[in-house]
Structure 1
Amino acid sequence: MSTAVSDQTPTRKLLLTTKIPVRWGDMDFYGHVNNTIYFRYFEQARVEWLEAYGYVVSPQSESGAVIINASCTFMIPVNYPATVVVRLYAGEPGRSSVMTWYELGVEGDDRVFAEGAAKVVWMDPRTGKSVPIPDELRAKVS
């Protein structure tokens, strides 16, 4: 009997690379970037990605993206001063959601300092219910 394991890694497409300066206030008591700030860096990349594709990130929008879960694996501490480099990847979109992944590095260093993920759901803010991802966005992600 064969016990071969199939590759379970989902297909990812690089959609955005952005650079964000580390601020002095991003650090915690231990002198490295606080773990909560990594989620802010991922959020900033997500907003830049959607805006680059022509979507307004605003509570007044008829529909928009929210995340229903988020995770981060911290591998190497980031210290001030630095500029982080965030790469945003996306998987194949479903009806109303798309999985996103993040690699966080530091400018001038090829190592990955943290990896993250977030499931993005397109929703109608008036009803709080999911709606189909716009066709234009689906085409750019696929």
Structure 2
Amino acid sequence: MEDSRKLLLTTRIPVRWGDMDFYGHVNSTLYFRYFEQARVEWIEQLDFPVDPGQGEGPVVINASCTFLIPVNYPATVIVKVFAGDPGRSSVMTWYELYVEGDERLFAEGAAKVVWMNMRTGKSAPLPDRLRALF
């Protein structure tokens, strides 16, 4: 992860039994959901509704995850959201996923978030309130 990253949010998410796959561990697609949930909590905590009916809002244009240790039910994951220096309309975000009660890093991810004008489908400048956090 980048040296200039800033911790924005730490959240806890319970793992549901249905999150597991045939192999008995959390399905890889769910890690992206956990990161998404943390990102939405962070954005909404800033009073920006994550709602397609709004004129502008965040969209992910690229996402990745490195799976380090399988997560199994029952568990509560802890997701930490970090961000780097913002650009005109985008910010790079990173994620660390832990299991409550275990200090090991289970997964790490990244997503480039672009502020989008929902009517035009084009990028828009990051709001000043959001930019001020960095």
Percent of aligned pairs with the same amino acid:
73
Structure with the greater alpha carbon radius of gyration? 1
Matched, 1:86 2:86: no
In structure 1, runs of 5+ residues without a counterpart are 1-7
Name the residue aligned to 2:104.
Answer: 111
Superposed CA RMSD in Å reads 1.0
Partner of 1:109, secondary structure, is coil
In structure 2, runs of 5+ residues without a counterpart are none
Letter in 2 for 1:53: L
Provide the aligned length of Structure 1 versus Structure 2: 134
Name the residue aligned to 1:59.
Answer: 52
TM-score (norm 2): 0.98
CA offset digits 1:37-79 (Å, max 9, x no partner): 0000000000000000110000111100000000000000000
Within the candidate set 107, 121, 129, 1:128 is matched to 121
Deviation beyond 4 Å, 4+ runs, structure 1: none
Within the candidate set 31, 35, 49, 2:42 is matched to 49
Distance in 1 separating the partners of 2:120 and 2:92: 22
Q: 1:9 to 1:50 in 2, by over 3 A?
A: closer
Shift of residue 10, structure 1, vs aligned partner:
4.2
CA offset digits 1:79-100 (Å, max 9, x no partner): 0000000000000000000000
Matched, 1:35 2:47: no
Letter in 2 for 1:15: L
TM-score (norm 1): 0.93
Name the residue aligned to 2:2.
Answer: 9
Name the residue aligned to 2:132.
Answer: 139
Letter in 2 for 1:78: V
